[in-house]
């Protein structure tokens, strides 16, 4: 079969899904494209029960508006050797980069876990403002002899 090439096209519909909200709550909208025409079908979140929107239809995340210009406080701390870095609950993002050693990490009072050198971990949320998100747990990073790590965080103020 040397020198043979080709392609196969299957005549199947192209479906895209989006969860939307109206005056009653959330529902699923399926956009299907068949034969060049786009058709929107609304269903309950189960994807099969028909649904008729009530009132204004918006993206669910558009229903609550974040603060126009939230102020963000940023921190950065490098820990070498033994010692702790604590990020209180309520941060928008937390990042750990381990350069050397094996520090431990405890989240929300849970059991500490050893993190190996070369590891980079990040936790974060994407919406702030009055109805915004934040990380609910505190993070405690504990260095031991030979540890070298960097912790950064952001928090809405």
Beta bridge partners of 59: 20
pLDDT given at position 157: 81
3-state secondary structure of 60: helix
Q: Distance between CA 108 and CA 89 in Å, rounded?
A: 8
Its pTM surpasses 0.85: no
pLDDT given at position 35: 76
pLDDT tens sequence across 104-147: 999 999 999 999 999 999 999 877 666 578 899 999 999 999 99
Q: Distance between CA 134 and CA 66 in Å, rounded?
A: 13
Q: Distance between CA 96 and CA 102 in Å, rounded?
A: 12
pLDDT tens sequence across 55-75: 989 888 665 555 566 788 999
């Amino acid at each position: 079969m040397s020198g043979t090439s080709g392609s196969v096209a299957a005549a199947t519909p192209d479906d895209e899904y989006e969860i939307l909200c109206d005056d009653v709550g959330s529902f699923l909208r399926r956009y299907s494209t068949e034969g060049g025409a786009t058709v929107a079908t609304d269903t309950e979140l189960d994807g099969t029960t028909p649904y008729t929107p009530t009132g204004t239809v918006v993206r669910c995340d558009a229903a609550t508006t974040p603060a126009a210009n939230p102020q963000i406080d940023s921190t950065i701390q490098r820990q070498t050797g033994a010692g702790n870095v604590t990020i209180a609950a309520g941060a928008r993002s937390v990042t750990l980069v381990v350069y050397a050693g094996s520090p431990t990490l405890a989240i929300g009072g849970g059991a500490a876990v050893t993190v190996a050198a070369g590891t980079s971990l990040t936790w974060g949320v994407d919406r702030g403002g009055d109805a915004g998100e934040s990380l609910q747990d505190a993070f405690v990073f504990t260095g031991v002899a030979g540890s070298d790590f960097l912790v950064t965080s952001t928090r809405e103020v």
